[in-house]
Structure 1
Amino acid sequence: MFVIGCHLSFSKGYKGLGLKALEVGANTFQFFTRSPRGGKAKELDVSDIEALNEIIKEHDFRHILAHAPYTLNACSDKAYTREYAEEVMKDDIYRMSYIKGSLYNFHPGSHVGQGVEAGIDMIAEMLNRVLDPNQETIVLLETMAGKGTEIGRTFEELKAIIDKVEVKEKLGVCWDTCHLYDAGYDLVNDLDGVIAMFDAVVGLDKLHAIHINDSKNPFNSHKDRHEKIGKGSLGQDAFERIINHPKLRHLPFYLETPQDNDNGYAEEIELLKSLRTE
């Protein structure tokens, strides 16, 4: 089964997310539980989530993914920012507990000059306070492009975080194809090599999802600017290989490409479906 979706606006609630996903031809989706710039989430409406769960069951949706706000930084040099990150993640994981088989993705953070090792320690410490072996949701560390002082630009950095986390079974990784390519992992010319490297360092069993985005910038640029599929430096052929690779094809794929509105995803989802071999 090809699990393909996109990032959708939460403006019409949980049921609205499911209906919009159907409208654009998706069988999964990603969304922000609150503003991507932070702040409080809307009051939890359990009946609305139940309506979404009916859509998920009826249409065999898989792996609904929530994305943490961009302001979440577990390795900030400011205590109140780290505290906010922990509070948000706890609340978001609780909200996602109402959706079976759910995932929760976050940018590991920026150490803002404190050093990579210190940043990794703070991220792992927060995860050790947040993760519960009984929780429903798998939390995912996203691969980063390497801007500034970002943590997660290399597989080794992600592995270092995972090694320090106690509840490892509830922690995994989400690839972002734009970020990986911009970070210096050549998905275009050496996909097998990148997969083998990730497996050797982190383990493919830890890879739970893929953000599927082209890049506006060249290889190893460390810029992180997404582009529509086939319109950027990775190119359509690379994505055809990615979605059909025997070691990746079972994973859910989520578009985060530039769009004027959610309806714009329909064309890209149809394109990717046309490239998928069964």
Structure 2
Amino acid sequence: MYFGAHLSISKGFHNAVREAISIEARTFQFFTRNPRGGQAKALKQEDIDKALQLREEYNFGPIVAHAPYTINLAAPKEETWNFARQTLAADIERMRQACIPYIVVHPGSHVGQGLDVGIEKIAKALNDVLKADQEVLILLEGMAGAGSEVGGRFEDLAAIIERLEVPEVVGICLDTCHLFGAGYDVKDNFQEVLQEFDKIVGLQRLKAMHFNDSLQPLGSRKDRHAMIGQGLIGAEALAKVLQAPALQGLPINLETPGEIEDYRREIEWMKKVTNQ
């Protein structure tokens, strides 16, 4: 496994890799652009090359990009839906240039259209954007299921993938807090959760994890991240999650609400409980 945290690339990829190294991380996650939308910052090839050199020197695993929250592939308004498609297409190309293999995307919110309509719109948007020969995989993120969110159930994710023309370029990113909120008992039955995921979606599609404790109880349908051991999942249960064989080799990134030194301590703990 490769442990990391959500970092900023505002000062470039090279500096972000250096910051990751400073906290003993061997991966990290970052937003492709401002998380609330806006123009993307231009990439510099010199910066990308320096970052690649450091990543190779320190044996980094896959780095994970995260699409902005403003992307809603299920949006009822045509303008908003088109913005989501265009932004995702542009970010796929930018991440290819930066040698980033994954972009995590929230599936979207149907905003009253109904789940089935939301799933159809998400699949249509992806079919318009994705290409069989693209080098960057889209990772649909499992959600807590708040409001009209699509992706709170494994069945939602499977239904989207089933409708894709090139499903081979789509994977899944699971989030421990989101799973717990959605009603999947990662605290006491994580192996059963993985078995259900494998049956409905397929473990081969699991490409990355977000690692968080939860401030809200099982099945709350609320997305409230907590630092490890400071939530209702707890450190003991989260240690067992990390020890699951199915997670070996994956990039696992913290999205806990701490600062950089908190990330350092949490990564140290993650390594300790996995004997790394």
* TM-score interval (norm. to shorter): over 0.9
Instruction: State how far apart, in whole Å, the 2-side matches of 1:43 and 1:17 are.
Output: 16
Aligned Cα root-mean-square deviation (Å): 1.1
Please report how far the alpha carbon of residue 12 of structure 1 lies from its aligned counterpart in structure 2 after TM superposition. Answer: 1.1
Please report how far the alpha carbon of residue 100 of structure 1 lies from its aligned counterpart in structure 2 after TM superposition. Answer: 3.8
Please report how far the alpha carbon of residue 135 of structure 1 lies from its aligned counterpart in structure 2 after TM superposition. Answer: 1.2
The aligned amino acid for 1:193 is E
Task: Tell me what 2:42 maps to.
Answer: 43
The aligned amino acid for 1:153 is G
Task: Tell me what 1:268 maps to.
Answer: 266
Native 8 Å contact 2:64 2:100 kept in 1: no
Please report how far the alpha carbon of residue 101 of structure 1 lies from its aligned counterpart in structure 2 after TM superposition. Answer: 5.8
Question: Which consecutive unaligned segments of at least 5 residues does structure 1 have?
Answer: none
Instruction: State how far apart, in whole Å, the 1-side matches of 2:57 and 2:90 are.
Output: 27
Instruction: State how far apart, in whole Å, the 1-side matches of 2:17 and 2:249 are.
Output: 21
Instruction: State how far apart, in whole Å, the 2-side matches of 1:155 and 1:57 are.
Output: 35
Question: Which consecutive unaligned segments of at least 5 residues does structure 2 have?
Answer: none
After superposition, give the CA deviation of every residue in 1:30-53 in whole Å (9 maximum; x if it has no partner).
Answer: 000111000110112122111111
Please report how far the alpha carbon of residue 62 of structure 1 lies from its aligned counterpart in structure 2 after TM superposition. Answer: 1.1
Instruction: State how far apart, in whole Å, the 2-side matches of 1:69 and 1:116 are.
Output: 22
The aligned amino acid for 1:221 is S
Instruction: State how far apart, in whole Å, the 2-side matches of 1:130 and 1:62 are.
Output: 26
After superposition, give the CA deviation of every residue in 1:87-138 in whole Å (9 maximum; x if it has no partner).
Answer: 1111111111134461100100000000101100111111111111111111
Task: Tell me what 2:108 maps to.
Answer: 109
Instruction: State how far apart, in whole Å, the 1-side matches of 2:61 and 2:40 are.
Output: 24
Task: Tell me what 1:179 maps to.
Answer: 178
Q: Structure 1 residues 21, 267: CA separation in 2 closer, same or farther (over 3 Å shift)?
A: same
The aligned amino acid for 1:275 is V
Instruction: State how far apart, in whole Å, the 2-side matches of 1:85 and 1:263 are.
Output: 34
Task: Tell me what 1:148 maps to.
Answer: 147
After superposition, give the CA deviation of every residue in 1:179-213 in whole Å (9 maximum; x if it has no partner).
Answer: 00010000111111101100000000011111001
Q: Identity of paired residues, percent?
A: 46
Native 8 Å contact 2:7 2:28 kept in 1: yes
Give the 5 Å matches for 1:58-73. 58-73=57-72
* Structure 2 residue 34 is matched with structure 1 residue 18: no
Task: Tell me what 2:121 maps to.
Answer: 122
Instruction: State how far apart, in whole Å, the 1-side matches of 2:236 and 2:250 are.
Output: 19
Aligned residues: 276
Instruction: State how far apart, in whole Å, the 2-side matches of 1:88 and 1:17 are.
Output: 23
Instruction: State how far apart, in whole Å, the 2-side matches of 1:18 and 1:263 are.
Output: 16
